A and B are shown apart, each in its own frame.
Chain A
């Protein structure tokens, strides 16, 4: 049972970076979808949720084609001498794409729950659109955004199918906890696999518990405020 630490660290690193990217992009996309009017919205909305409903191997295949040497993105990156496939960055991209729909739909629900009159009121009080976003929209949509953050982090941490296709399972380089579990179990190393499974369970439980405690604390504050 050795070599369990690198996959754990790499999984965390990939999940943190992917979640940060997805939080910004998902919130921005949801904002554009809720607040702005433009043609083709419905089509894009369906496209944004696509990675949630197709198998991760399908997402992985599409990414493989796009990022490969002959793919449009791969060629572009190749001009700058950058090769993404089978590096940990490919793992970040795979995790981000797969986690994006969770962040996007949670953020969209959160933003939709904010009363538009409050934004109008802020406008008549002289606040710029950016100030309105950060002082009114974002804090009021936070319960939805926070839920999206937890869900997409969990999803990114557990990503397997797409990651395996674009990042591979190179020990010490692109091997994450899910791919390491698979590899260890395949090789009959049940101790290593079981140990990694235990780590994932502890992570998952702590995340669920922390998000519950956090929302309870927030909600408690809110309820107290309501009751006066």
Chain B
């Protein structure tokens, strides 16, 4: 369970969100400059909110009242960046394995999947020895997903994950993300400014526009269950 309540003052407006999310894909939707990436950064610990509280699976990650602010290293949150941020000097394999060291040291946590299984799940096993610059956009994204999932996060953040992809690849990758979420059974938070994409993917849509939020609960994903598409405009206010 993810519980988020936070406020952050930005140059032009104040971002305010308050929501809970369990397991599934939550889409954060809004125009450019609406504070979507800031929200993800605050969750990941890369930016510090002004006040509020973030709780993930019973662990308090941030609490302004109690002065708690865990560094990104200790949050257990995976982050797929907009431009994927793959390490250009490392091979696909080294990129994917980069986050493993930390978990190995702790040793208190069992891996649900082996390295090979993650590579297989994302169909990048054959790319292991290549460098990021040698990959197509879709492949780069799968590597970024594998790298983030390899650390066994409790929450995965995806920032406009298919900005750089062509329409055909996008459709395939969307399905893949939905499928991955089912297999991993952890909450995904996905940022987009594309209305169609938000409607296709999200089980819940968090509208963010210049700081204001509105929640829209969707009963099912449009593409997977077309029969239920009629029910998609059920609103559940914030």
Interface residues of A (CB under 8 A from B): 115, 117-118, 120-128, 131, 135-136, 139-140, 225-226, 228
A127-B98 contact given A118-B85, A140-B88, A225-B134, CB 8 Å threshold: yes
- List the 6 closest pairs (A to B, CB-CB), nearest first: A126-B102, A125-B99, A228-B134, A121-B85, A124-B79, A123-B72
- Known interface pairs A124-B77, A126-B74; 4 further A-B residue pairs with C-beta atoms within 8 A, sorted by A's residue number: A118-B85, A124-B44, A126-B99, A126-B102
**CB pair B131 A126 closer than 8 Å:** no
Question: In the bound complex, how far is the Cα of B45 from the Cα of A225, in angstroms?
Answer: 33
Question: In the bound complex, how far is the Cα of B157 from the Cα of A125, in angstroms?
Answer: 12
Greatest chain A CB density within 10 A among B73, B79, B83, B147 is at B73
**CB pair A124 B72 closer than 8 Å:** yes
**CB pair B89 A126 closer than 8 Å:** no
**CB pair A123 B88 closer than 8 Å:** no
User: From residue A224, how far is it (CB to closest CB) to chain B in Å?
Assistant: 9
Q: Can you give 19 contacting A-B residue pairs, CB < 8 Å?
A: A118-B85, A120-B46, A120-B85, A123-B45, A123-B46, A123-B71, A124-B46, A124-B78, A126-B73, A126-B99, A127-B98, A127-B102, A131-B101, A135-B98, A136-B87, A140-B88, A140-B89, A225-B134, A226-B133
Interface residues of B (CB under 8 A from A): 44-46, 71-75, 77-79, 81, 83, 85, 87-89, 98-99, 101-103, 130-131, 133-134, 147-148, 151
A-B contact count (CB 8 A): 65
* Contact partners of B46 in chain A: CB under 8 A: 120, 123-124
* Contact partners of B83 in chain A: CB under 8 A: 117
Q: Is the interface of A mostly helix, strand, loop or mixed?
A: helix
Question: In the bound complex, how far is the Cα of B144 from the Cα of A120, in angstroms?
Answer: 13
Question: In the bound complex, how far is the Cα of B71 from the Cα of A118, in angstroms?
Answer: 16
* Contact partners of B151 in chain A: CB under 8 A: 125-126
Question: In the bound complex, how far is the Cα of B72 from the Cα of A226, in angstroms?
Answer: 31
Question: In the bound complex, how far is the Cα of B151 from the Cα of A125, in angstroms?
Answer: 7
A123-B73 contact given A115-B85, A139-B89, CB 8 Å threshold: yes
